[in-house]
Structure 1
Amino acid sequence: MIDIYEKITSKKETISVVGLGYVGMPIAVAFAKKVNVIGFDLNIDKIQLYKKGIDPTKEVGNSEIKKTNVEFTSNPLDLKKAKFHIVAVPTPINTDHTPDLSPIKLASEIVGQNLVRGSIVVFESTVYPGVTEEVCIPILEKESGLKCGLDFKVGYSPERINPGDKEHKLENIVKVISGIDEESSNIIKRIYELVVDVGVYKAPTIKVAEAAKVIENSQRDINIAFMNELSIIFGKMGIDTKEVLKAASTKWNFLNFNPGLVGGHCIGVDPYYLTYKAEQFGYHSQVILAGRRINDEMGKVIAENAIKLMIKNGKDVSKAKIGIFGFTFKENCPDTRNTKVIDIVNELKEYMIDVLVFDPEADQSEAKNIYGIELCNENQMFDLDLIIVAVNHEFFVNKSNEYWFEKLKGKNIIMDVKGILNKETMEQNKVAYWRL
């Protein structure tokens, strides 16, 4: 197996990437610049788009997709041509906040059914410590009839790609890797070094690598939860949270976090994977779950403040029309998975309020299929009683004040969740302005 690196770099062997979403696609494209790559996804429609040079994720861009040498396929049998498999499928949660391992189990079955002797399988999906060795390896062995450690090797390398982030990309983010033994770790490290310019860190065990990933997002989640709790407290006191943070940040060791909606398929999900595993060991999380509860409530907090603002400013809530600008889980990407903006929409609809949602970046079909939301076009966003700027897309950040004023009627009320507008300017224009 030691020569698998040489065979891959000489293009005598092939790498496969299983799962071509926001994580898998950039990996496939990056490796395809150096070696032979098969890009596999069960979504036939997505594969057809890639073959036409269209990038629905917007992570790589149409121009890169058009010129890439990735062999796109939805045929599992094509995986037999690869000796190094990278599995980058999502790991969501169920409605009861327990891990949903069905995507990674299915991916393991598919890879196992097409696994050839002498292969290496590397999982990139975020999981709790133990999933790779306790869940994935048994499936690979069962489906392939091969023995891990003897006939094939397995590793883990947590994805760190940040969707929509054009600065922190695969090439300039340190890659953590680990294999089931020293030989596999060394091969995996060398292969990832082909595309990661800033270095690869070799963790001592797969469980350490799994744990490192799951705490990265848990740490961010807890810090944002603290900011959200502060925003609730200061809101009741009539103090501007952003001004408080601006003052506090003058100290050298103050951590730069801001309040906001915490959704997506990482920060809003990963902590539940860790606390689920902790409970299997008899430990019930206190800090992590407390942070999750606060962050999960922020959509309701924003909606309740919208009602209070309208009543305070003489609006008839029962006849109100509210425009929400932004629906994705974060800025500058089309991904709506686990967006917390839907919580604002649902809370407002409890009051029988007419809610319009516009997002220039969002995947409209995804919004419709997952949430039943018909996204509006920009021209429909007018004559609004209240505006909620929910996502700080560059499209919104670059708009003039007049853009927002023209969409309102009567008493101007703007809720600026991400604080992209100038508070003083809003107040000078007699806008009832609120921000987290």
Structure 2
Amino acid sequence: MNTPLFNALKQKEKKLAVIGLGYVGLPIALEFARQFRVIGFDISAERVAMLKQGEDPSRELPPSAFDQADITFTADPNELKQASFFVVAVPTPVDDYKVPDLKPLQRASEAIGRVLKPGDYVVYESTVYPGCTEDDCIPILEQQSGLRLGEDFKVGYSPERINPGDKQRTLPDILKIVSGSDAEALREITAVYGSIIRAGVYQAPTIKVAEAAKVIENVQRDLNISLMNELAIIFDKMGVDTQEVLKAAGTKWNFLPFTPGLVGGHCIGIDPYYLLYKARQLGYDPQVIHSGRRINDGMPAYIATKLVQMLLQRGKNPRQTKVLVMGLTFKEDVADIRNSKVADLVRELMKFAINVHLVDPHASPNEVAQEYRMTLMDTPSTHYDAVIVAVGHTNYRTLDSTYFKSLMNGSPILLDLKGLYVVEKESGIDYWRL
């Protein structure tokens, strides 16, 4: 596609900048750096120092990913003056009241606005509610720069679709949605992203459509998992094995393969709150979305209560028990601990005065201590009253009853939240799974 800015980037006459170098921003920055001259900006000087050494702080990318990448890493916002095409990939969390926290997005917009020049482009990738780019971000860009959208600069939205831990569907192999503030912007943005995305680019008709498409991707998954969680609660009361029910139901060709579990992370457990927030601003209180969130947010307390019931049935006083929780990251085989519902489970167990030990081969002990004020052990101890396998890490999947019995005392209890194991009654383990 022959477009002026894309050609200037391709010929390395102009530079592209990525703001935010986490799980989303770093892969994008490195992929762009195979085509263009790139400035990788992050507010964390510590993260930037690691990146300069070819080390991914998120431990998702190998050192080889940095090879032959035309990129300069910096924590100095003045360096952004050299760029003409800006990609924003900062976090969009919620606060303690489940209200969208736009401060990272606002600060990124302010930093870009201070260096924005006529002819520049700004593309947001962070997950937001429909209307956020135009209602919240563009006014900041205009205010800080003194420029006008359309007349002086262009804006687009291209929702991130990074899947942490997925080594098959990498960034170039995932279809990318793009949108622009006008037809010219859409052409330029399509050309820029099309140069790195092998799977192709889908042009959304408006920025709001692109924003909405992203947020409902995760709302849909959240609701489907919440249904499985509610079914698991019902079947548990009936004494029916949920996993066996799902296996039987899955023999029908159009049955969707969702399973119950803890819903954490920076997407599925967060994004629905953005849509809930916007809908309530418009005077509509969503019933289905809110119900799904309530069920999923309540699962840590449900599981903790289930364990306490099992302990009491064994004649054990929870205050005098020791429990091992295996896995803290939000999904298997990743280091990401953000919005970990396992941490919520640990807190729920502690409410019963249970002595909880925590292990995870992928999580950083320093990050766990800083984020959750919890101690991550190097290896499990022994004589546990119960073990909870909370995350399906690959190296957990080969464990067996003999291993778990070696960790526990004479009345072993195993809670298998991911349905990883087949435990026979003859093993002597009191086994429960979602």
**Per the shorter chain, which TM-score range?**
over 0.9
Q: CA deviation at 1:403?
A: 2.9
1:418 matched to which residue of 2?
A: 418
Q: CA deviation at 1:59?
A: 2.0
2:430 matched to which residue of 1?
A: 432
Residue identity opposite 1:417 in structure 2: L
1:299 matched to which residue of 2?
A: 300
Q: CA deviation at 1:2?
A: 4.2
1:393 matched to which residue of 2?
A: 393
Q: CA deviation at 1:419?
A: 0.8
Q: CA deviation at 1:428?
A: 3.3
Residue identity opposite 1:260 in structure 2: G
Please show how residues 184-223 of structure 1 align to structure 2 within 5 Å: 184-223=185-224
Match of 1:323, SS state, is strand
Structure 1: gaps (5+ residues): none
Structure 2: gaps (5+ residues): none
Does 1:31 pair with 2:28? no
Is the CA contact (8 Å cut-off) linking 1:172 and 1:198 kept in structure 2?
A: yes
Question: More deviation in 406-415 or 297-306?
Answer: 406-415
Task: For 1:420 and 1:15, locate their aligned partners in 2 and report how far apart those are by CA, in whole Å.
Answer: 44
2:332 matched to which residue of 1?
A: 331
1:63 matched to which residue of 2?
A: 64
Aligned residue pairs: how many? 433
Q: CA deviation at 1:400?
A: 4.3
Residue identity opposite 2:144 in structure 1: E
1:265 matched to which residue of 2?
A: 266
2:242 matched to which residue of 1?
A: 241
Is the CA contact (8 Å cut-off) linking 2:36 and 2:70 kept in structure 1?
A: no
Is the CA contact (8 Å cut-off) linking 2:400 and 2:421 kept in structure 1?
A: no
Residue identity opposite 1:432 in structure 2: D
Residue identity opposite 2:389 in structure 1: V
Task: For 1:16 and 1:420, locate their aligned partners in 2 and report how far apart those are by CA, in whole Å.
Answer: 43
% identical aligned pairs: 50
Task: For 2:422 and 2:153, locate their aligned partners in 1 and report how far apart those are by CA, in whole Å.
Answer: 58
Match of 1:409, SS state, is strand
1:97 matched to which residue of 2?
A: 98
Q: CA deviation at 1:250?
A: 0.6
Task: For 1:398 and 1:176, locate their aligned partners in 2 and report how far apart those are by CA, in whole Å.
Answer: 39
Is the CA contact (8 Å cut-off) linking 1:225 and 1:291 kept in structure 2?
A: yes
Does 1:284 pair with 2:285? yes
Match of 2:156, SS state, is strand
1:116 matched to which residue of 2?
A: 117
1:409 matched to which residue of 2?
A: 409
2:75 matched to which residue of 1?
A: 74
Question: More deviation in 311-320 or 347-356?
Answer: 311-320
1:42 matched to which residue of 2?
A: 43
Residue identity opposite 1:234 in structure 2: F
2:6 matched to which residue of 1?
A: 5
Q: CA deviation at 1:402?
A: 3.2
Question: More deviation in 20-29 or 66-75?
Answer: 66-75
Task: For 2:397 and 2:360, locate their aligned partners in 1 and report how far apart those are by CA, in whole Å.
Answer: 13
Q: CA deviation at 1:66?
A: 5.6
Match of 1:410, SS state, is strand
Residue identity opposite 1:435 in structure 2: R
Q: TM-score, normalised by structure 1?
A: 0.97
Q: CA deviation at 1:67?
A: 5.2
Question: More deviation in 59-68 or 230-239?
Answer: 59-68
Residue identity opposite 2:388 in structure 1: I
Residue identity opposite 1:15 in structure 2: L
Task: For 2:167 and 2:387, locate their aligned partners in 1 and report how far apart those are by CA, in whole Å.
Answer: 28
Task: For 2:399 and 2:51, locate their aligned partners in 1 and report how far apart those are by CA, in whole Å.
Answer: 32
Task: For 1:209 and 1:172, locate their aligned partners in 2 and report how far apart those are by CA, in whole Å.
Answer: 19
Q: CA deviation at 1:215?
A: 0.4
2:22 matched to which residue of 1?
A: 21
Is the CA contact (8 Å cut-off) linking 2:228 and 2:258 kept in structure 1?
A: yes
Is the CA contact (8 Å cut-off) linking 2:3 and 2:191 kept in structure 1?
A: no
Q: CA deviation at 1:14?
A: 1.1
2:367 matched to which residue of 1?
A: 366
Is the CA contact (8 Å cut-off) linking 1:55 and 1:65 kept in structure 2?
A: no
> Deviations along 1:249-279, whole A, 9 cap, x unmatched?
1111111100000011110111110011111
Task: For 1:405 and 1:78, locate their aligned partners in 2 and report how far apart those are by CA, in whole Å.
Answer: 57
Task: For 2:27 and 2:260, locate their aligned partners in 1 and report how far apart those are by CA, in whole Å.
Answer: 29
Match of 1:406, SS state, is helix
Residue identity opposite 1:412 in structure 2: P
Residue identity opposite 2:216 in structure 1: I
Match of 2:384, SS state, is coil
State the superposition RMSD in angstroms. Answer: 1.3
Match of 1:179, SS state, is coil
Q: TM-score, normalised by structure 2?
A: 0.97
Task: For 1:162 and 1:366, locate their aligned partners in 2 and report how far apart those are by CA, in whole Å.
Answer: 21
Q: CA deviation at 1:192?
A: 0.5
Task: For 1:72 and 1:403, locate their aligned partners in 2 and report how far apart those are by CA, in whole Å.
Answer: 45
Match of 1:83, SS state, is strand
